[in-house]
Structure 1
Amino acid sequence: MRPNNGLLLLGLYLLCHITSAQELKISSLKELTKYAAESGNQITMEPGVYRLTDYLNADSIRDRRNRKAYQYITFSGSNNTFNLEGVEIELDTEIRTALNPPIHSDEFLITGSNNTFLGLTIRCIGEGTSRGGTVLQVAGEHNVLRNITLHVAGSYPYGYGDLFGKGKQKESTIRHRKHSGLLVTGSHTRLYGCRIYNRSFGHCFFVQQHPKNVYFEDCYAEGEVRATDDILAETSGPAFDVNFKTWTQNREGEYVVTPGYMKSLCEDGFRTYGVCENIAFKNCTAKNTRGGFELRFNSARLENCTTIGTERAYWIGEHTEMINCTGDANYGPLLFVEGSNVAVELTVDPIESDRLVHSLVTILGDSNNVTLKAQDGQQKKKALPILVGYTPPLHGESMSPYSQEEASALTLVNETGMPVTLGEKAHNCTVHTNGDVIDRGLNNQIIH
């Protein structure tokens, strides 16, 4: 049978018409909200500053509260491209206070799939607070975010980091209201060139609910730091009101803010909760955050990543690979290894501060390979020990003590000049080092 060319051409036309995205130009948040719920479009928004309070007035906030519609904009459509280059949404945090949503309610939500977002900036202003929510959550699958920038604010109290707890009421001496940056819960999410400037107690980038194949490239997370001496100098405020009582003990066994340390005022730069199958970071940087990359319980891959002025730089778990990464131990330890079968290649920035730091690295677990290099051959002046067979301090808090745990079959190459201590539970390890060694373990081989 000969093909019907007319029907064939009609079918091709319909197929192209259905699959091609409609190109649309918009210039308001109302239009953005409309097309966020549709699919198959290419949306370009006129550059400029768009105030959320111009879109959500008192009446609409009241209506949303009655309907329990707590998100500002939900991108529920799929197969869209949103060109938002030069677009800034000004987010007055007082709106969150007025909506009074349940805990962990996010504000901008992506639930659709196969969308691409380009160039949006969201800036928090005002004195409102959130109850544990995030500015932006990516919940749908196969979404790509490029050059998204978040300026996060809106937590209580701000200025102390996690000294007085992390949010759980029973464990906290001050009840917190967190506000975080960007949460990924959807599989196959890819982020390129995204930046978060965090002036809130909460995470910058974090991952929950076990998504698969999450990828970060050229992303940047930044917080602020404050000396504990400055906190202790306060004569009023939340910390003063609880007599500076902390939620975790210091090295003297006391639950009190201790002078001499530096605290990040936000939570972690890049954080995972639970197992995220196949998560990777390339050319990413965390500055002045609590944890730089806290990726415990995951098999992660990090390449060319950097930490600057963090409380603790890298905290890794099972089967993690770190390639050509860099960091400092200016305000806290550079690396916690809390798992087995890791491969680490890490360069130590020699920058120093007057803050108290008690270790360069702690390592526990089995069959780990760790190589530590000195940046440009420069060694740190302070002797920060590399602790083999030791746990991280309690809750990762620099003021808290370490304990000992088993480490076996470790291959450590230490080119930093820093001393190495092998604890009583370290055994069958091989240490190549240009620093001093204290070996309290069993059957360890030391090669100077």
Structure 2
Amino acid sequence: MNKQTLIMLSVLLLFLSCRAQSTDNKKAIIEVNTLSEFKKYLDQDNVHVKLKEGNYQIDDAQKIRFMEITSTNSYYDLRGARFMVDTKLFSRPDLIKSDDGNSMYCAIEISGKNVTLEGLYIETYGDTPGRQSKNKIFNLVGENVTLKDVEVRTTGSSPWGYGYLYGLGGNDVRKMNGIRIGYPAKNVKLLGCKVHMRAMGHAIFLQGSENTLIENCQVDGLLRTTDAMLAETSGYGFDKKFYAGKGNYIEGTIVAEDGKILPGEIISLSEDGIRMYPDYNGHKTLNTTVKACTVTQMRRGICTGLSTSGDKIIDCVVRDCVTTGYNVGNEDVIINCSADAKYGEAFCIPYTNAKNAKVEMTILDSRNGMANNLLAKINGTGHTVVIKTDNSEYIPDTMAIKLSVWEGYGNFNEKAKMHATDITLDNQTSAEVITFKGTENLKVKSVGNVREATNSENLVNEGNRTKR
């Protein structure tokens, strides 16, 4: 046997060995027909489980996490499956508490490693409010967890129909959030997921997670005018004589100083579409990427500003949000994104301590809105901002871009020194740019007029300091 033949035989044996090994490693698909069968595999490693298409009711549980996926290297195929979760479970005091120090109730928790769940439609039904404000559908706390093509629909918050006007987690508020990604989660992916918010709460939110990717996801909520509330002849708002939880400015909506709800305003019935919290028990939220996502009719659309690590938002679209389209913060990079300003500013960089954000924003049709004349708000230091539009008629003449302002969302420290310093602004729209006191070293190129705020405008701005 010559040398060439030996080489060929060696290559053939290696190929056959690799093929055999690949076949051995390929997981056999386990097909199950009932939810009880499916649950048997939630803690099993290296499984590929396919649940039969159909409707499944979740109306009983043993723990406050109704279903817990703790496996490693497992794949759960729920394409065609529909889970209906009874909201009564979120008020059950007898369920076993978690040992992680977090008392939240949720329908499905994934704490495993290298786990993929694909294709589920899940919704809550019933109007029983939970025992707390932290209720949610998914809680993702594992490593290398992927949620793919999952669709969520939430109900079961209290009070419903008044959004955030009656507090953000107070004694009266019982929320129903969509998807939480929280510490110790790492490398979590949400791919092609949809969240329909029909309850008070956040659609997708992060607390202390690292390296999260949210791609091609969609979030939608509902809006309501204060005129519709004031027309009620019974219900929660009526019983409170239409006084909100506090006065002045509430997350994009203006009420009277004594808290009386005013006509001519608009609210979102839910909270934020995609939101980062800065941390969870000291563990920072780090390195989030939001790509090709759409958010409509929420309070804030995409809110990375509360996380200070510098996040990326790419190719996203936000429409009809009430507080702001994009809440931008320290070191954030916003690339090829768009938003309207019908009910709240298209975007804001509101924090005085935010530095070096980069924003590229296209303004969508902002006509026929209400209760808003702020196109964009810029505070902080060292930002580079480009604002453009595909049609100059999309932006009403009354709308302006403002720097160094308390107006709008995001100023929590009444003692802060309001400023916008070393900003580079390229305004390719006809919107007016107004610089308030505290604006220094502005490098601006603008199609629209650029001017300093008048004394009276600066006085109004200072007056807003105590009304946040």
TM-score grouping bracket, smaller chain normalisation: 0.7 to 0.9
Worse overlay, 324-333 or 100-109 = 100-109
CA 1:280–1:394 in structure 2 vs 1: closer, same or farther (change >3 Å)?
closer
The alpha-carbon deviation at position 19 of structure 1 amounts to: 4.6
Specify the alignment match of 2:460 in structure 1: none
- TM-superposed CA distance for 1:242, in Å, is 1.9
Give the equivalent residue in structure 2 for 1:384: 399
1: CA distance between counterparts of 2:297 and 2:259?
Answer: 24
Q: Distance in 2 between matches of 1:218 and 1:184?
A: 17
| Aligned-residue RMSD, C-alpha | 2.5
| Counterpart for residue 314 of structure 1 | 326
Contact 2:384 2:423 in 1 (8 A): yes
Aligned to 1:355: 370
Query: Residue type of the partner of 2:342?
Result: N
Query: In structure 2, do the counterparts of structure 1 residues 422 and 404 end up closer, same or farther at CA, with 3 Å as the change threshold?
Result: farther
Aligned 8 A contact 2:137 2:177 in 1: yes
Residue 375 of structure 1 deviates from its aligned partner by 2.4
> What pairs up with 1:319-330 in 2 under 5 angstroms?
319-330=331-342
Q: 1:384 to 1:376 in 2, by over 3 A?
A: closer
Residue deviations 1:401-431 (CA, integer Å, cap 9, x gap): 9x97111010111122111110110001112
- Aligned pair 1:203/2:202, yes or no? yes
Q: d(CA) in 2 for partners of 1:73 and 1:264?
A: 30
Q: Aligned letter for 2:421? A: S
Question: Aligned-pair distance for 1:394?
Answer: 5.8
1:303 aligns with 2:314: yes
Q: Aligned letter for 2:337? A: C
Please give the per-residue CA displacement for 1:289-344, whole angstroms capped at 9, x wherever unaligned. 11101112331101110111111210011111111101101111111103210110
Shift of 1:168: 3.0
Deviations for 1:176-222, whole angstroms, at most 9, x for unmatched residues? 011100001111001110000010001100001x2110001100111
Name the counterpart of 2:247. 249
**More moved, 39-48 vs 430-439:** 430-439
Give 1:136-147 correspondences, 5 Å limit.
136-147=138-149
Number of the residue aligned with 1:444? none
Name which of 167, 175, 185 aligns with 1:178: 175
SS at match of 1:36: coil
Question: Quick one: structure 1 residues 389 and 282, their matched pair in 2 at CA, closer, same or farther if it must change by over 3 Å?
Answer: same
Alignment partner of 1:92 is 2:83? no
Aligned length: 412
SS of residue in 1 equivalent to 2:187: coil
* Aligned partners of 1:404 and 1:423 also within 8 Å: no
Amino acid at match of 1:259: P
- C-alpha spacing 1:182/1:256, structure 2 compared with 1 (3 Å): same
| CA positional deviation for 1:99 | 5.0
Q: Is the 8 A contact 2:75 2:117 kept in 1?
A: yes
Contact in 1 for aligned 2:64/2:104 (Cα 8 Å): no
Q: How does 1:400-411 map to 2 (within 5 A)?
A: 405-411=418-424
- Aligned to 2:64, which of 70, 91, 107? 70
TM-superposed CA distance for 1:369, in Å, is 0.6
Q: Which residue of 1 aligns with 2:157?
A: 155
Q: 2:64 aligned with 1:49, yes or no?
A: no
CA offsets 1:362-417 (integer angstroms, 9 cap, x no match): 111111011110124444224212111113536689xxx9x971110101111221
**2: distance between equivalents of 1:259 and 1:418?**
27
| 8 Å contact kept, 2:91–2:129 | yes
**How far off is 1:104 after superposition?**
2.4
Give secondary structure in 2 for the equivalent of 1:95.
helix
* CA distance in structure 2 between the aligned counterparts of 1:79 and 1:433, rounded to whole angstroms: 54
1:107 is paired with a residue whose SS is strand
Give distance in 2, aligned partners of 1:232 and 1:153.
Answer: 23
Q: Is residue 25–residue 43 contact of structure 1 (8 Å, CA) maintained in 2?
A: yes
Q: Which residue of 2 aligns with 1:267?
A: 271
TM-score after normalising by structure 1: 0.86
TM-score, length of structure 2 as denominator length: 0.83
User: Structure 2 stretches of 5 or more lacking a match?
Assistant: 1-9, 98-102, 249-253, 279-283, 455-468
Mapped pair 1:240 → 2:242 = no
Q: Match for residue 292 of structure 1?
A: 301
CA deviation after TM superposition for structure 1 residue 350, in Å:
2.1
Deviations along 1:53-72, one digit per CA (max 9) or x if unpaired, are 3xx3xxxx5xx3xxxx2222
Cα pair 1:49 1:89 within 8 Å, conserved: yes
* Amino acid aligned to 2:50: T
Query: Distance in 2 between the 1:303 and 1:394 partners?
Result: 22
Residues 136, 180 of structure 2: 8 Å contact kept: yes
Percentage of pairs with the same residue: 26
CA contact (8 A) 1:91 1:125 kept: yes
The 2-side partners of 1:237 and 1:168 are apart by 19
Alignment gaps of 5+ in structure 1: 170-174, 442-448
Conservation of the 8 A alpha-carbon contact between 1:331 and 1:353: no
Q: Is the 8 A contact 1:404 1:424 kept in 2?
A: no
CA distance in 1, matches of 2:55, 2:257: 51
1:437 equivalent in structure 2: 450
Q: d(CA) in 2 for partners of 1:284 and 1:12?
A: 40
Amino acid at match of 1:94: K
Distance 1:345 1:264, change over 3 A: same
